[in-house]
Amino acid sequence: MAAPRRDTRGIVDAPELFTRVRFRRRTPAVPLRPYVEHYWLIDWDLSEPYATHVVPHPCVNLVLQRYADRPAFGEVAGVGLELFSQKLVGRGRVCGVQFRPGGFRPLAPERPVTDWTDRRLPLATVFGGADVAPAGSGAAAAVLAPDDEDARVAALDAFLTPLLRAEPRILAQADLAMGLADRIRTDRTIRRVADFARAEGLSVRALQRLFAGYVGVSPKWVLLRYRVHEALERAASDAEVDWPALAAELGYSDQAHLIRDVTATVGVPPTVYAR
């Protein structure tokens, strides 16, 4: 991993967001890179409230936050099933960690990742067995306090690295889950979970159990979410999208199914979203 990815998939109206906040992605320390997609850093100083919207990726995020009206705090955000919205007011700062799909379990190996799905929980709740857990709020303050961005990244590295304590079996299963999830993300020929499982030498049930334990959602959900991300990215960048052709490219039987999935995710049809 030479650098964090540069696309804005999942961020609704990214150009508008970037005019309101300072948004950066940073690379984690070497031991964390197999499991962490990137760090994401946001600072804002707003004269009026602004609402952000994100179509979540199939991954866990660790989010350290500081707002003008409350002390620093940290949460683990499991895979979000619905559109996520956050209202930003005044001044604030967030340091986030986006794990790879399947990459969070090595830091909290005792419980399946489905335990965190669609939930936001304090750090100490998730890392209750870890030596660093009692410093949950202190860790958030330590990461968020420096104005120097490199110092914040170093503090994130220092907080996360000791949490990599899983046994080899967990690491091996996490590697398998991450590889399969990445295949689903990048390989447009994958259309059906049953065919994908067979090609990987797994039963559908074994694939589902792996994703439940390490990704937090089913392989079918991951497949559908990446399809929606692709459709939204096209809608944001091309005013003349050929929706029937895109539906066929993404493996839908017809345009109506694509429109249904996009509408269910963001609340409006893709043509309205594009406008």
What per-residue confidence (pLDDT) applies to 134?
40
Alpha-carbon radius of gyration of the chain = 19
Residue 9: inside a domain, yes or no?
Answer: no
Residue 146: inside a domain, yes or no?
Answer: yes
List, in sequence order, every residue forming a beta bridge with 95; answer none if it has no partner.
41, 64
Residues 128 and 239 in one domain: no
Residues 201 and 76 in one domain: no
- The whole-angstrom distance between residue 49's C-alpha and the CA centroid of its chain comes to 24
Residues 37 and 91 in one domain: yes
Residues 99 and 154 in one domain: yes
Residue 122: inside a domain, yes or no?
Answer: yes
Residues 59 and 133 in one domain: yes
Residues 26 and 155 in one domain: yes
Domain count of the fold of the chain: 2
CATH number at residue 129: 2.60.40
* Per-residue pLDDT in tens (0 to 9) along the chain, 275 residues: 456 777 889 998 888 999 999 999 999 999 999 999 999 999 999 999 999 999 999 999 999 999 887 889 999 999 999 999 999 999 999 999 999 999 999 999 999 999 999 999 999 999 975 444 444 568 899 999 999 999 999 999 999 999 998 999 999 999 999 999 999 999 988 989 999 999 999 999 999 999 999 999 999 999 999 999 999 888 887 778 888 898 888 888 889 999 999 999 888 888 888 77
Residues 210 and 137 in one domain: no
Residues 129 and 234 in one domain: no
What per-residue confidence (pLDDT) applies to 2?
53
Residues 141 and 119 in one domain: yes
Write down the pTM of the prediction.
Answer: 0.92
Residue 58: inside a domain, yes or no?
Answer: yes
Residues 145 and 182 in one domain: no
Residues 125 and 228 in one domain: no
Residue 137: inside a domain, yes or no?
Answer: yes
Residues 267 and 174 in one domain: yes
**In the block, which residue shows the tokens 């619905």?**
82
**In the block, which residue shows the tokens 């559109």?**
83
What per-residue confidence (pLDDT) applies to 128?
76
Residue at a domain's end among 163, 193, 226: 163
In the chain the first and final C-alpha atoms are separated, in Å, by 35
What per-residue confidence (pLDDT) applies to 137?
63
Q: Which of 259, 174, 262, 181 is nearest to 220 (CA)?
A: 181
Residue 101: inside a domain, yes or no?
Answer: yes
Residue 28: inside a domain, yes or no?
Answer: yes
- Give dist(CA 122, CA 107) in Å, integer: 15
Is 43:22 a contact under the CB 8 Å cutoff?
Answer: yes
Boundaries of domain holding 126? 14-163
